[in-house]
Amino acid sequence: MGYLKQIEIENFKSWRGKNVIGPFMRFNCIIGPNGSGKSNVMDAIGFALGERATFLRVKQLRDLIHGAHIGRPVPDTTRVALRYCDQEDQETVFCRSIFGNSSEYRINGVHVSLAKYLEELQKIGIVTKARNCLVFQGAVESIALKDPKERTKMFEVISQSKEYAAEYDQKKEAMMKAKEDTQFQFNRKKSATMERKHVSQEKVE
């Protein structure tokens, strides 16, 4: 199983300039008083994993740039890179940058599309759309307060089974139609058999 080895941050939220958090081990714990930036570490990781602005506690992407929340952004760009280490100690760097309100994605320094970026993350078990990697503050309480129907929908998103709902409904409808056709043909055959038997009896008589 792989792990996050290091986070490289540049002008992101409360961090000004270039900063390095780590190196991490396979198990880590970050502690600190309120307002010390613990949640911003989660936001940085979420940002690099492709999360949308609404999940990062801002209205728009450029609000993530250091100083933007007070109307005085230091630069016009920000960057977060995650250094991931797999079971064989091979490193992969996932990097997301902001230029204005648009994002740029790179894997090991090579510019890639968002689709390719998310595809490579999925290969290591991180599904951004399902949000199966990070548990943000208040998420546990929110899940506990959900009713069974809402919780089922949540699990469908996490397992990605919701993406196959339309296909499932289509195939289910086709199966029901096939069952109806089969029953119709069976009844037709049964009726024909009875008629044949009746005709045979009339012939004997």
Q: What is the per-residue pLDDT across 8-54, written as a single tens digit (0 to 9) for each?
A: 999 888 888 888 988 888 888 888 888 777 888 888 888 898 888 87
109/186 same-domain check: no
28/73 same-domain check: yes
Convert the pLDDT of each residue in 74-88 to its tens digit.
Answer: 778 889 999 998 888
41/96 same-domain check: yes
In a domain, 98, yes or no: yes
114/182 same-domain check: no
108/183 same-domain check: no
29 vs 94: CA distance, rounded Å:
22
Q: Is 39 exposed, middle or buried (0-12, 13-18, 19+ CB in 10 A)?
A: middle
105/10 same-domain check: yes
79 vs 101: CA distance, rounded Å:
13
Does this model's pTM top 0.75? My answer is no
107/165 same-domain check: no
Looking at 109, 126, 143, the residue that finishes a domain is 126
Q: State the residue range of the domain holding 182.
A: 160-204
The answer, yes or no, to whether residue 185 has pLDDT greater than 70, is yes
166/119 same-domain check: no
Total tally of structural domains belonging to the chain:
2
How many CB atoms neighbour CB 80 within 10 A? 25
In the prediction, which pLDDT does 23 show? Answer: 87
Most confident of 60-69, 76-85, 132-141: 76-85
